[in-house]
Amino acid sequence: MNVRLIDQGLVERCLSMPRTIELMQEAYADLSQGNVESPLRTALVNDGGTVLYKPAYSDGAGIFCVKVVSVFAGNLDKGLPVTPGIIVINSSETGMPLAIIEAGYLTSLRTGAASGIATKLLAPEESKTGALFGSGGQARHQLEAMLCARDFSTMYVFSRTAVNAERFCEENRDLAGNCQLIANPDRSVLKECDVITTATTSPVAVFANDEVSDTVHINAIGSLGASRTEVSAETLLRSNVIVDQRDACLKEAGEICLMRNAGLIGDDYYPAEIGEVILDRASLGPRIKPTVFKSVGNAAQDLVCAAEIYRYAEKNNLGASAEL
């Protein structure tokens, strides 16, 4: 059988951040409408990290796909990607393997775009000041997506070390354009932030409840697992919480699972999905309290991106061909 191999460079050529944000809107709407088959992912764990298997199919995409992606935080110290992965595409007509796509870059891109569509839908329209927690592999796409969604004039960057935050700001000034990047400022600036995005591996909340305003929008996309959280229970309990997929977040999101385990919420806890917001099925009411978008990631995101990339590669006869 013949399989098309699609590398990172081709993914970059095919998908821009604005286009990927549009695809995330499509994916989340389809997910909430039940148009996508997307079983809960399978996670295999050892002492080093986690390997995730994430399948999806929809008639609209016209393909089957499964992403195999790993999360190994220690890779950073080894000069390796923290979240390497591949996507395998199968024909919806024959089931034959059609392509293998490099998915480390794509995962970062579509995860950034998830925060982008959430910021576009949920953040105050006049947002000018933002904060980004984390300076690792996800951070650049998170910054890019925030800048696509709102016209920020200032972005504060927080990292575990001042050196990492300063390096990130220096390396991304070209992307930021007229938005000023400020590394590891005094945390009192969080109160003035309209949007905060967290992209860390922290096991505990990265800011305190009293550090953020009543109208802030928060994108919480890091800290994989039911026992880890980037946002405190105090902040979550006073916020409108919106999730990417309800069933997955109720099972896998530490922000929710830890509150339930502590008896702070009941089994009837029912946060809105971002797709329901897109479809106008969920009303969040007036902005009198924070909003929190919690994403654990969903294969529907990979599906719409993989379909677009594969069609682009087929149309233009791009990517290497491998006979297996």
SS (H, E, C) the chain: CEEEEECHHHHHHHCCHHHHHHHHHHHHHHHHHCCCECCCCEEEECCCCEEEEEEEEECCCCEEEEEEEEECHHHHHHCCCCCCEEEEEEECCCCCEEEEEECHHHHHHHHHHHHHHHHHHHCCCCCCEEEEECCCCCHHHHHHHHHHHCCCCEEEEECCCHHHHHHHHHHCHHHHCCCEEEECCCHHHHHHCCEEEECCCCCCCCCCHHHCCCCCEEEECCCCCCCCCCCCHHHHHCCEEEECCHHHHHHHCHHHHHHHHCCCCCCCCCCEEHHHHHCCCCCCCCCCCCEEEECCCCHHHHHHHHHHHHHHHHHHCCCEEEEC
> Is the domain of 203 the same as that of 75?
no
> How many independent structural domains does the chain possess?
2
248 located within any domain:
yes
> Is the domain of 96 the same as that of 194?
no
286 located within any domain:
yes
> Is the domain of 82 the same as that of 193?
no
114 located within any domain:
no
115 located within any domain:
no
> Is the domain of 56 the same as that of 147?
no
List the pLDDT tens digit at each of the 324 positions of the chain. Answer: 899 999 999 999 999 999 999 999 999 999 999 999 999 889 999 999 999 999 999 999 999 999 999 989 899 899 998 889 999 999 999 999 999 999 999 999 999 999 999 999 999 999 999 999 999 889 999 999 999 999 999 999 999 999 999 999 999 999 999 999 999 999 999 999 999 999 998 999 999 999 999 999 999 999 888 999 999 999 999 999 999 999 999 999 999 999 999 999 999 999 999 999 999 877 776 677 999 999 999 999 999 999 999 999 999 999 999 888
> Is the domain of 208 the same as that of 70?
no
> Is the domain of 76 the same as that of 149?
no
pTM confidence score: 0.93
113 located within any domain:
no
CATH number of the domain within which 206 lies: 3.40.50.720
213 located within any domain:
yes
pLDDT tens digit string along 107-145?
999 999 999 999 999 999 999 999 999 998 899 999 999
**Domain range holding 152?**
124-297
